[in-house]
Structure 1
Amino acid sequence: MEPMQLIRVYKSQMMREILEELRKLTFEKTIIFIYGEKGTEKDYIVKFILAQINHPEIIKVPEEIHKKTSFRQESIVYVIKNFENIDFSFVFNPEKNFKCAIFISDYDYVELYKNGAIPFELYENLLSSRKIYIPPLRERKQDIIPLANFFLQEISECLNIHKKELSKEAQEAILEYPWIENAYQLKQYLAKACIMAKHQRLTSKDLFGEYNDQLSIKNFLELKIGNLLKEFANIENSNLYETVIQEVEKALFFLAINETGGNQLKAARILGINRNTLNKKLKHYNLI
């Protein structure tokens, strides 16, 4: 799904103002600090920013900070997470050319500095950044249903399944739910429901009932493989093996990456595979 579709998704005034501010930015050695509670849509806002920049050459920090590239310096965009123990003085070097540096955190840099998580030099440099605060879902309930529909479309495209819909009952239920982990948790519940439910219209039971917090990898695999076997039971030369492997693998990786909030290292540990292997698979299935 295109990041620019977020403009049509968000209904709350605070999120519309954020997108409008970002659309007006001139990206030239621009420092942006995005923060908000765990699970807020920080990664989607990063994608929105990248969509404003022509042909960005993205370097993810700290993973790719030492990677040799042939990028033109003026086209580089640094996407920076887990920056507490890394020297980022190069970003603030006046002789350094780049398009944009995007810091992402669950906490305000003021709080990080007060708690001793970042040094004074980084705090001082971040004072000149564009600070973008993503409010929690509980403060903008008008965004919940549009976001849910946005995620349902994204899930259907990732897993190559028909888009599920929310029943009126389900819509009422998700509006009342606290969503402690915000949009990440909302997407996680929707992904589970889409995978597990056979019917098209999702109910509150699909979201919060028997599947909630009880969906193990084992149960998921049994159900997914069982459904595929039923579909191909009477079809000869159906290439069942490859179909099962690809369908299960893609859904499994999608589920794992959503369970960990996009943390590939944690997802790889859950799956028991190498992080590089997971990264290749995620790219192969267009999940990142």
Structure 2
Amino acid sequence: PVDIVLSDYKMPDKTGLEVLEEVKQINPEINFVILTAYGTIENAVNAMRVGADDYISKPVNLEELDILIEKIIEHKNLKSEIKFLRDQLQEKYKLNSVISDSPKMQEVLSIVSRAADSKATMLIRGESGTGKEVLAKSIHYISSRKNYPFVAVNIPALPETLLESELFGHEKGAFTGADRMKKGRFELADKGTIFLDEIGDVPLNVQVKLLRILQEQRIERVGGTETLDIDVRIIVATHQDLEAKIKDGSFREDLYYRMNIVSVKIPPLRERKEDILPLLEHFISKYSKENNKGNVEISKEAVDVLLKYNYPGNVRELENIIERAVVLCRDNIITSSDIPNSIRGFRQEDDISLSGSTIAEQVESLEKKLIYDALNKSNGNQTLAAKILGLTERNIRYKIQKYGIKKKPYI
């Protein structure tokens, strides 16, 4: 295969521009360098405008040509590396790579897949650690904006005095210490997606500016008078009760309605216990590779402990538990002794609560948990699990199908 074509600009039968056009039709990725005599440099520059990578004057200095070719190859390799990394990100955050067997979570994924390619502002609700930013990235990487920036902003991590400058940028001299112009996060996200995490923490004076951006897609840098047009998909997230904040006057109602065009709520892990086993497998595989541990497995006893826990820190907490266990386990088997005492000592009755759920929902949740426990004890044998629960085989098959329970391999 050809990587680089060197072509004179003037030849008896055709010009370098004609050769360039033919080469690009064969393979647009082939690099092209024009050789030009003094006085025709303008033609060479025109060739670069239509696809040539560079030009070199005749008579050709071989050392100069070596440097030019090396530069082109380095640039080509850099482009390939960027494409590889971008493809990896897109693969990592595809919706079908989101690990979940839960019907509730599948409903969330169904909504975001339908809304992903729209420009509608999206509100993601969920407790800390449920994976709001991961979902926002998935939305970005399945949309037509995937080749443009994804800019995440953690609102609570920014001092209130610097929040406006970080979001909207500032002009030189806008305030003490502003010794140069700085683009804000919205400008940096142009043509891409901006993710504002914990939107409920935005102060009222900044909420006014956010409202204008949502309405007009325009910003003004701090200390500036020029209005800048931007093209940004906005995704916001919160773990707070925004309706309560509207009532107490700390959040604008008009902003709430502008950003609540499409809204989804990620259920906490304790409400989708069927996701624990697939998440376990994923995190064990991930941290086994990262720590060069080979093939790490997990004992039934350890799985049982992890299934009973209620995960106030949600998926993030489970991930931290597994990372620690993979690092500390002996003989590449995670046992209950590799799990923190506070989790081993957790009692299921501590998690019984009717808050936010009907009695029927609580009964279904408990029934689902009992089926999981029975399948765990029987190593996935439905006949044995049915005997443990006092059900018929037909009944347990119906319930497994009803709750979307999938068999997962573990020892």
TM-score (norm 1): 0.63
Equivalent in 227, 236, 239 of residue 106 of structure 1:
239
Partner of 2:139: 49
Contact 1:50 1:56 in 2 (8 A): no
- Paired AA for residue 197 in structure 2: K
Contact 1:39 1:183 in 2 (8 A): yes
Partner of 1:68: 183
Write out aligned runs for 1:36-185 (5 A). 36-53=126-143, 54-61=146-153, 62=155, 64-65=166-167, 66=169, 68=183, 73=190, 75-83=191-199, 84-85=202-203, 86-87=206-207, 88-96=210-218, 97-127=230-260, 129-162=261-294, 164-185=296-317
For 2:292 and 2:95, how far apart are their aligned partners in 1? 20
Contact 2:214 2:259 in 1 (8 A): no
Shift of residue 202 of structure 1?
0.8
Contact 1:192 1:211 in 2 (8 A): no
- Paired AA for residue 106 in structure 1: H
Structure 1 residues 49, 89: CA separation in 2 closer, same or farther (over 3 Å shift)?
same
- Paired AA for residue 57 in structure 1: P
For 2:310 and 2:109, how far apart are their aligned partners in 1? 25
Shift of residue 163 of structure 1?
5.2
Shift of residue 190 of structure 1?
1.0
For 2:236 and 2:189, how far apart are their aligned partners in 1? 21
Query: Alpha carbon RMSD of aligned pairs, Å?
Result: 2.9
Partner of 2:109: 19
For 1:150 and 1:7, how far apart are their aligned partners in 2? 11
Does the residue aligned with 1:24 lie in a helix, a strand or coil?
helix
Q: Which moved more, 1:129-138 or 1:157-166?
A: 157-166
For 2:136 and 2:295, how far apart are their aligned partners in 1? 25
Q: Which runs of 5+ in 1 are unaligned?
A: 213-288
- Paired AA for residue 111 in structure 1: A
Shift of residue 141 of structure 1?
0.9
Shift of residue 158 of structure 1?
4.2
- Paired AA for residue 93 in structure 1: Q
Contact 1:91 1:101 in 2 (8 A): no
Write out aligned runs for 1:201-216 (5 A). 201-209=333-341
Contact 2:115 2:262 in 1 (8 A): no
Does the residue aligned with 1:23 lie in a helix, a strand or coil?
helix
- Paired AA for residue 78 in structure 1: I
Contact 2:297 2:332 in 1 (8 A): yes
Q: Which runs of 5+ in 2 are unaligned?
A: 1-90, 159-165, 170-181, 219-229, 345-411
Task: Give the structure, 1 or 2, with the largest relative contact order (CA under 8 Å, sep 6 or more).
Answer: 1
Q: Which has the larger radius of gyration?
A: 2
For 1:99 and 1:93, how far apart are their aligned partners in 2? 12
Shift of residue 178 of structure 1?
1.4
Identity percentage of aligned residues: 24
TM-score (norm 2): 0.46
Contact 2:198 2:239 in 1 (8 A): no
Shift of residue 29 of structure 1?
2.7
For 2:328 and 2:123, how far apart are their aligned partners in 1? 37
Write out aligned runs for 1:228-267 (5 A). none
| Per-residue CA distance 1:72-116 (angstroms, 9 max, x = gap) | 83x221110243223312431334443421111112432332344
Contact 2:152 2:194 in 1 (8 A): yes
- Paired AA for residue 246 in structure 2: Y
